[in-house]
Structure 1
Amino acid sequence: MAMKKYKISLVIFDMDGLMFDTERIGVLGWHEAAKSFGIEIKQEFLRDMTGLNVKSIEKVFKKYYGNDLPFYDIRDLRVKYVLDYIEKNGMPVKPGLFELLDYLDHRGIMKAVATSTERKRTEKYLTLAGIRERFDAIVCGDEVERGKPEPDIFLEAARRTGKRPEECIVLEDSANGIKAASRAKMFPVLIPDMRRPDEVEELVYRELKSLHEVINLLESLKEEVVL
């Protein structure tokens, strides 16, 4: 059987927990917002909702807390907590992000963001970090019909940049993101954040410790051949 050499021409970035250390702040935000409504946030809820868009998070919330609690009121308080923290302390950028973006520019590899976060907040985060204009495409959770773990958001990023799925590496920290990248027939690269999602280990192409290591991976893929 002939060997095929894959040329990586697009790197797709998740945002929260991958580029920015915002998942930790978000967890604190959920706890603080829930207190205002007299409930306690469960670890199972935090686990199941990671990487999902707003509509999907609402379904998970109602699964654990029923239909009586005002999900969007609680979520709005959580969002305010996160934004207030960032306004006060600055955007917590993950180590290696700027170096990786510079490397991709040097190599001429395109860059896209595919995040479950809605467009308005995504734009704000990227702007505060000073990297809004560095991406060739930005696809947000409120712009696709089906969120992660379905592949729609990654396929849309590939479509907007004119790339085939087999040319794309996806950088993700969540189980839902890895599932979506795998279903998109892309190369899912796991960089764990707060919790290592063991349940998707068989779907991961590579697991790395930080964004710094992505550069070495891409260097190795210059010559890599696969069946």
Structure 2
Amino acid sequence: MTSTAVIFDMDGLLIDSEPFWAKAEKMVFTSVGVELSDSLCRETAAMTTREVTEFWYRRFPWRHRSINDVENDVIDCVDELIRKHGEPMPGAQQIVSYFYSRNCRIGLSTNSPYRLINTVLKKLDIAQYFHGISSSEHVERGKPDPSVYLSTLQKLGVHPEHCIAFEDSSSGVRAAKAAGIKTIAVPPAHDFDKPDYSLADSKWRSLWEFSEKAFYLT
């Protein structure tokens, strides 16, 4: 069946921003007395920014700063790092342009705060290609819940069976599949062979693997 829409994740899929989140969280959370550990950081990898902030507050409750203020400090730091150092993931700009040139509806579904979306799309010079964007900030629950994908489908005005999703995280794959969308996983190299991505309909090593034949597009 011909796909008429595509929905992309953002962090780690379109832009190489995962290191920025790690750097910002380390800087901000340690400044308020949080003792970060690699094992606990792995638990927060798929969470929203608010969920991450609440996670650390429960374990190391700080004083004199609200959860909201600390969360915004993290977001501000990531925003600055993206503006200064943000780089596209291999093939990201090309695949978005590819689908746009074939009159596909293009969406974005991310766990990141809404205000970072504009920063990323402007940095990559692809904002003009998107017809609908959704942040977990504006739905009840973030990924792996499907809400952020269902929101984007509604904005695009398409049914899930006519859509393809691209995700780099296993929680994102679960969210897209729960929304009924055919999903292509593009995991980070160190996670590529993990069974967590078994739900995906296909698995690529990078976005460079796209082709017309892969999507049966006319």
Q: TM-score range by the shorter chain?
A: 0.7 to 0.9
Query: Where does residue 215 of structure 2 map in the other structure?
Result: 221
Whether the 8 Å contact between 2:185 and 2:204 is mirrored in structure 1 is yes
Whether the 8 Å contact between 1:52 and 1:149 is mirrored in structure 2 is no
Query: Where does residue 116 of structure 1 map in the other structure?
Result: 111
RMSD of aligned C-alpha atoms?
Answer: 2.3
Distance 1:175 1:195 in 2: 13
Whether the 8 Å contact between 1:45 and 1:60 is mirrored in structure 2 is no
Deviation of the 1:121 alpha carbon: 1.9
Residues 1:189 and 2:184 are matched in the alignment: yes
Residues 194 and 202 (structure 1 numbering): CA distance in 2 closer, same or farther, change over 3 Å? closer
Query: Where does residue 200 of structure 1 map in the other structure?
Result: 196
Higher RCO structure, 1 or 2 (CA under 8 Å, sep 6+): 1
**Helix, strand or coil at the partner of 1:150:** coil
Residues 1:39 and 2:34 are matched in the alignment: yes
Query: Where does residue 76 of structure 1 map in the other structure?
Result: 72
Residues 1:133 and 2:128 are matched in the alignment: yes
Distance 2:52 2:148 in 1: 16
TM-score by length of 2: 0.86
Match of 2:153 among 155, 158, 179: 158
Whether the 8 Å contact between 1:52 and 1:176 is mirrored in structure 2 is no
Deviation of the 1:212 alpha carbon: 1.1
Residues 29 and 97 (structure 1 numbering): CA distance in 2 closer, same or farther, change over 3 Å? same
Which letter does structure 2 place at the counterpart of 1:200?
A: D
**Helix, strand or coil at the partner of 2:191:** coil
Residues 222 and 114 (structure 1 numbering): CA distance in 2 closer, same or farther, change over 3 Å? same
Deviation of the 1:62 alpha carbon: 4.3
Whether the 8 Å contact between 2:7 and 2:106 is mirrored in structure 1 is yes
Deviation of the 1:195 alpha carbon: 4.9
TM-score by length of 1: 0.83
Deviation of the 1:45 alpha carbon: 3.5
Residues 32 and 59 (structure 1 numbering): CA distance in 2 closer, same or farther, change over 3 Å? closer
Q: Which runs of 5+ in 1 are unaligned?
A: 1-5
Query: Where does residue 3 of structure 1 map in the other structure?
Result: none
Q: Which runs of 5+ in 2 are unaligned?
A: none
Q: Deviations over 1:9-59 (max 9, x none)?
A: 211111111101011111011112222123332233333333433343344
Distance 2:157 2:82 in 1: 34
The alignment covers a number of residue pairs equal to 214
Distance 1:164 1:27 in 2: 35
Identity %: 24
Distance 2:122 2:136 in 1: 18
